[in-house]
């Protein structure tokens, strides 16, 4: 299997804004320095955080349901998922339908340094120590494979734990709550959705294609959809001649005037800063 086969098999790039990725074969063996890493906050069927580490021309990826913790006593489940293309490291936006449908925020980005001499051997062993130098995550960390669920056909488990090592960057502060916004756009989910197409899941929220309809995540998504609609209405009433430039724009612009002003007031109040 070539490096990005699984990634590409799961996605339809005529319908998803995610990068298809360029061929990695030519440059894959030349490790550039420093290596990049990112964490994407992804509101899909469940809210989770995707940690991605550049390695041999792709991004090794783990989905972390609760997100990273700076507390060395808190081990966070990290499901090893398919490698992603390098270009994914700067991606932020809305996946309207299909695999991973939802909103992707670039939550952290920077460089990483392995604390082992052989990353492939560390991955095979299930014990990868490394340093992160991001905006939010720094210092020494370890990913340890567990004998959890997710093993395929008797193969090795896909479940790992992400653990912060004790150092000057560890602590008890809840980094996901303290620093919830994008490092790329400083936006929250509602603002990312509002700059794309806030009506993307309006017509068929409980039908196919949309990310979620029920439970806590469904409730969160509905709040975000409402905030995004308010933000968009507010923007359009502030700039009545400037149309939103999102290419997939299909929404009918709301009437300017009283409704716009009301929406702007609501948006200002509900904007979670």
Give me 104's structure tokens: 């992707």
120 or 216: CB nearest Mn ion:
216
Number of residues that bind Mn ion (CB under 5 A): 2
Q: In the bound complex, what is the minimum distance in angstroms from residue 104's beta carbon to Mn ion?
A: 7
Q: Distances from the Cα of 211 to the Cαs of 42, 206, 259, in angstroms?
A: 11, 9, 29
Q: Measured from the CB of residue 241, what is the shortest distance to Mn ion in angstroms?
A: 38
Quick one: 79 or 137, whose CB is closer to Mn ion?
A: 79
How far apart CA 222 and CA 48 sit, in angstroms, is: 17
Residue 163 DSSP one-character state: E
Question: Nearest approach, Cβ of 273 to Mn ion (angstroms)?
Answer: 25
Q: Candidates 34-42, 136-144, 233-241, 249-257 — which segment interacts with Mn ion by CB under 5 A?
A: 34-42
- The residue (of 51 and 229) whose beta carbon lies closer to Mn ion is 51
Q: Among all residues, whose Cβ is closest to Mn ion?
A: 42
End-to-end CA distance of the chain: 44
To the nearest whole angstrom, how small is the minimum distance from the Cβ of residue 113 to Mn ion? 24
The answer to whether 195 and 219 have CB atoms below 8 angstroms apart is no
- Please give the Cα distance from 179 to 177 (Å, whole number): 6
From the number of C-beta atoms within 10 Å of its C-beta (0-12, 13-18, 19+), residue 222 rates as middle
User: Considering only residues 35-94, where is the footprint of Mn ion by CB under 5 A?
Assistant: 42, 50
* Residue number with CB closer to Mn ion (20 or 124): 20
- What is the C-alpha separation between 23 and 8, in angstroms, rounded? 12
Whose Cβ is closer to Mn ion: residue 42's or residue 136's? 42
- In the complex with Mn ion, the residue whose CB is nearer, 50 or 196, is 50
SS3 content of the chain, % helix, strand, coil (to 5): 25, 25, 50
Least CB distance to Mn ion at residue 63 (A): 5
Provide the token pair at 270.
């509900």
User: Binding of Mn ion at residue 158 (CB under 5 A)?
Assistant: no
Which residues make beta-bridge pairs with 127?
A: 144
Shortest separation between residue 211's beta carbon and Mn ion, angstroms: 11
Binding site residues, Mn ion, CB under 5 A: 42, 50
């Amino acid at each position: 299997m070539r490096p990005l086969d699984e990634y590409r098999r799961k996605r339809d790039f005529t319908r998803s804004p995610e990068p298809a990725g360029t061929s990695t074969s030519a440059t894959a063996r030349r490790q550039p320095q420093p290596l990049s890493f990112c964490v994407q906050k992804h509101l899909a069927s469940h809210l989770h955080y995707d940690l991605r580490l550049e390695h041999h021309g792709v991004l090794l990826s783990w989905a972390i349901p609760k997100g990273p913790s700076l507390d060395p006593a808190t081990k966070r489940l990290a499901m090893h998922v398919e490698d992603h293309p390098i270009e994914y490291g700067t991606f932020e936006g809305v996946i309207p339908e299909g695999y991973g449908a939802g909103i992707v925020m670039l939550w952290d980005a920077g460089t990483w340094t392995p604390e082992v001499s052989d990353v492939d051997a560390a991955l095979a062993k299930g014990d990868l120590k490394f340093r992160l130098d991001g905006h939010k995550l720094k210092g020494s960390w370890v990913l340890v494979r567990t004998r959890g669920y997710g093993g395929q056909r008797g193969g090795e488990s896909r479940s790992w734990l992400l653990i912060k090592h004790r150092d000057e960057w560890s602590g008890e502060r809840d980094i996901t709550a303290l620093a919830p916004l994008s490092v790329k756009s400083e936006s929250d989910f509602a603002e990312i959705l509002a700059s794309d197409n806030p009506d993307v899941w309006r017509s068929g929220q409980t039908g196919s294609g949309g990310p979620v309809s029920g439970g806590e995540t469904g409730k969160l998504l509905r709040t975000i959809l409402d905030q995004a609609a308010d933000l968009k209405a507010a923007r359009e009433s502030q700039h009545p001649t400037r149309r939103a430039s999102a290419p997939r724009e299909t929404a009918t612009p709301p009437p300017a005037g009283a409704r716009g002003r009301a929406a702007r007031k609501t948006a200002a109040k509900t904007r979670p800063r």
